[in-house]
Chains A and B, each alone.
Chain A
Amino acid sequence: MTCGPHEAGGSSRGSSGVAVLDLPRVALVGSPNSGKTTLFNALTGLRAKTGNYPGVTVTRYEGPVDTPAGEVVLEDLPGTYSLAAISPDEQIVVDVLDPSHGGTQTPQALVVTLDATTLRRSLGMLAQVLQADLPVCVVLTFTDELVRRQGVLDTAAFARALGVPVVSVVSGRRAQLGELRELLGRPQDWERTPVPPPIDPLEVPSWIESVLRAGRYVLPQVDERTRRVDAVLLHPFWGTIVFFATMFAFFQVIFTVAAPVQGWIEQLFAFLGDQVDAHVGNRWLASFLADGLLGGVGGVVVFLPQIALLFVLISLMEGAGYMARAAFLMDRVMSRAGLEGRAFVALLSSLACAIPGIMATRTLPSMRDRVATMMGAPLMTCSARLPVYVLLIGLLVAPGARVGPFGAQGVIMFVLYVVGALSAMGSAWLFSRLGRRSGPLLPFYMEMPPYRVPSLRSVVLAVWDACRGFLRKVTKIILGTTVVLWLLLNLPAPSTTELAAAGVDPGDRTAVSSYTIDHSAAAAVGRFIEPVFEPQGFDWRIDVGVLASLSAREVFVATLGQVAAAENPDDPADTLKQMTVQSGPRAGEPLFTAPVLAALLVFFLYALQCTSTIGVLRRESGSWKWPAIAFGYLFAVAWTMSYLTAVVVGAVT
């Protein structure tokens, strides 16, 4: 995997203009669920920056921390249970801790977060971290929970047994961080452990026991509250019902709660567009500003409600501990597709839109699973496909047509959803199989953390980070495509004399926009690529629609409407029915025959006709490799399947 030149910039951009490279660096090491990221958020707040590690698609988080001795850069390393790395994410931790590894910058000191309620396990990783020749400071998290569950730990004696500084914090309480901030300022003064723990994993347990004995550790009781909630939420029957109810609510929220907000955003941009139309004299410039620029910006902002809601829900589920339970319940089903349970949430979100779906793959710990899920996610039937499906199905079968007791239109829609979901699973399965060739199969294990109250701060930061990252990395791509497509569809602009010569009334907007598109660069491209879709029976006008739909699938409807000079381009069904083939052996016959319509439906089912998805794939996978692969394989599949559909439907009808 290759990375762009932006990677180098990620670590050297300081917030105050000072090169971050010169500041002392401290890295946070800890297992997942140990409160590591909560601590990172509490220390760095909104000043954290994200980037990528060179050469791999693992997100890198770092941010400045104020200490009495000046600013320190804190790096949040990926969560891991062991330094014997088995995944690219874990290898990052090993590489960062290894001063002889050239690609990464080794910090001056390490902060290790240990969940006080799971010390018997987490000390094993501390034993490995202490092998690195770096100053180490231990932060004990969830000490309040330890006390609540009648566990005991003498922190001072524990620190003496380890020989390193130990600070205990109650998760998320910022006021308690003073002592830690003070320590972070002077890592060179930290006490170093005199005798490093044993290296042999079979000798480590006795070291752990001796440290725990010295710290007078009493293992906390099983969390009664968690046990009772689990008896319901993981119950074979009730647990499954609660799971589906939760997922239904989850889907409803990102699908229907976001929809009105997105509607307002669209209205706002339509209003701004009208204002531009009213106040900018030049018709061409007004159209560029309103449809090209404002349309592009609107096309970015319209995704924010879904992304924000998705991350509110995901971080609530993760923070409360339900994500692990949901994954546990779905693991068997998802393992059929070579994935793990957590991928279910990402695929489900993709039913609303592939953008939040692909962003939801961040919850998957393994990069291989993340890529496999990303490759499948665009196949789930997203809401942008709906207007296209509705239009095409409406042309294909009459509203009254029935298949048995069911309306034929509804049956076709249902089949498209099912085929999309099955194709997504199949594609994920294929990519996870291909991914296995590049390394050993990762064992599956998943900690089931006690139920906890999610921290509001973590929820807000997760939402903020997701929205900011999306705007930063994807705006350029979406805005760029929208503008380029607008130019293609509107250049060259016909002059008034040209319109007059063609017999078009310059005052008739429908006729003018139809004439412009017919003679645009896009039409030239459409005619040029006509042979590509010839076997499916698409003519250049359909090709223009397909081309324009690259900015967003639903644009296909309006573009076809404009090409057909429909009075109302957003509902062009009647006009399209009248369209006939212009040339060739089928000249004069209706253009939208059953095989053409079926082929178009299948094409839109598979093709990655969405530059926003391409942009978010670029952002989440860290390179152009995966978006290129996704676009290529989905186009090939879309072409093949739509061709087969045209042949089969043509033979049947």
Chain B
Amino acid sequence: MSIASLPMGRRAARSPFARRSSARRAAADRALPAPAGTTLADLRAGDLVQVTAVDDGSDPAVTRRLLDLGFTPGAEVRMVRRAPMADPVVFRVAGYDVALRRVQARCITVGPAS
């Protein structure tokens, strides 16, 4: 990877990034409250939400691990970005970034951030 290619990459990458996230953040401010049953898997980049419940249903160990990773009821979560093929997704929670696959993201029900 050459150093020369970086600034060009950043310029090209940054403007769509900035445009997209600001547009989405603005949309998020207006469009949320999300309908009941919205999960982390339904968010778009930039959306800020609050966790309402965590339940894997079948496996309490997974639920427990998601709680231990910081997805506790009341915690604020921001969807940061998804991977090129839509999975996994990076979330910012409890002051750090963590990637979850959509299967797990679906276990976390969210509502509008307070």
Chain B 1-44 per-residue mask, 1 if CB under 8 angstroms from chain A, else 0? 10000100110111001000000000000000000000000000
**Inter-subunit contact B65/A231 (CB<8 Å):** no
What residues on A are CB-neighbors of B90 within 8 Å? 234, 328, 448
**Inter-subunit contact A205/B95 (CB<8 Å):** no
Q: A205-B74, A331-B88, A443-B66 are in contact. Are A120 and B83 (CB under 8 A)?
A: no
Number of A-B contacts (CB under 8 A): 138
- Nearest-CB distance from B111 to chain A (Å)? 17
Of B17, B87, B95, B104, the contact of A331 (CB 8 Å cutoff): B87
**Inter-subunit contact B94/A121 (CB<8 Å):** yes
Within 8 A of A (CB), among B67-114: 67-70, 72-75, 81, 83-88, 90, 92-101, 103-104
Q: A84-B61, A329-B84, A445-B99 are in contact. Are A238 and B13 (CB under 8 A)?
A: yes
- Nearest-CB distance from B108 to chain A (Å)? 11
In the docked arrangement, what's the CA distance between A441 and B62, Å?
A: 9
**Inter-subunit contact A81/B69 (CB<8 Å):** yes
CB pairs A–B below 8 angstroms (30 shown): A81-B69, A82-B65, A84-B68, A86-B65, A118-B94, A119-B95, A120-B94, A121-B93, A121-B96, A124-B68, A124-B70, A125-B68, A201-B67, A228-B14, A231-B10, A231-B14, A232-B13, A232-B14, A235-B9, A242-B9, A331-B87, A332-B83, A333-B85, A441-B59, A443-B56, A444-B100, A444-B101, A445-B98, A445-B99, A448-B90
Q: A444-B104, A445-B65, A448-B98 are in contact. Are A231 and B84 (CB under 8 A)?
A: no
- Nearest-CB distance from A586 to chain B (Å)? 52
6 interchain residue pairs of minimum CB distance: A82-B68, A448-B97, A120-B94, A121-B94, A332-B85, A121-B70
- Nearest-CB distance from A230 to chain B (Å)? 8
- Nearest-CB distance from B46 to chain A (Å)? 12
Q: Which residue on A lies nearest to B89, using beta carbons? A: A328
**Inter-subunit contact B61/A440 (CB<8 Å):** yes
**Inter-subunit contact A205/B75 (CB<8 Å):** yes
Total chain B interface residues with beta-carbon distance under 8 A: 43
In the docked arrangement, what's the CA distance between A177 and B75, Å?
A: 35
In the assembled complex, A559 has its CB within 8 A of some CB on chain B = no
Q: A81-B68, A84-B64, A445-B100 are in contact. Are A238 and B12 (CB under 8 A)?
A: yes
* Chain A contact residues, CB within 8 Å of chain B: 81-82, 84, 86, 117-121, 124-125, 201-202, 204-205, 219-220, 222, 228, 230-232, 234-242, 245-246, 249, 324, 328-329, 331-333, 335, 440-441, 443-449
Of B10, B85, B97, the contact of A447 (CB 8 Å cutoff): B97
Having A81-B65, A121-B95, A443-B65, one finds 19 other A-B pairs with CB under 8 Å, namely A81-B68, A82-B69, A119-B95, A120-B95, A121-B69, A124-B70, A202-B67, A202-B72, A202-B73, A230-B81, A236-B84, A328-B83, A328-B90, A329-B84, A331-B83, A335-B87, A445-B65, A445-B98, A445-B104
- Nearest-CB distance from A606 to chain B (Å)? 30
**Inter-subunit contact B99/A232 (CB<8 Å):** no
In the docked arrangement, what's the CA distance between A452 and B10, Å?
A: 19
What residues on B are CB-neighbors of A81 within 8 Å? 65, 68-69
Q: Which residue on B lies nearest to A448, using beta carbons? A: B97
In the docked arrangement, what's the CA distance between A232 and B9, Å?
A: 7
- Nearest-CB distance from B79 to chain A (Å)? 13
What residues on B are CB-neighbors of A202 within 8 Å? 67, 72-73
- Nearest-CB distance from A477 to chain B (Å)? 38
Q: Which residue on A lies nearest to B11, using beta carbons? A: A232
Of A82, A220, A230, A331, the contact of B101 (CB 8 Å cutoff): A331
**Inter-subunit contact B14/A120 (CB<8 Å):** no
**Inter-subunit contact A120/B70 (CB<8 Å):** yes
In the docked arrangement, what's the CA distance between A240 and B1, Å?
A: 12
Q: A118-B94, A328-B88 are in contact. Are A86 and B9 (CB under 8 A)?
A: no
In the docked arrangement, what's the CA distance between A241 and B1, Å?
A: 9
Q: Which residue on A lies nearest to B81, using beta carbons? A: A234
What residues on A are CB-neighbors of B86 within 8 Å? 332
In the docked arrangement, what's the CA distance between A601 and B81, Å?
A: 45
Q: A117-B95, A220-B95 are in contact. Are A235 and B69 (CB under 8 A)?
A: no
In the docked arrangement, what's the CA distance between A333 and B85, Å?
A: 9
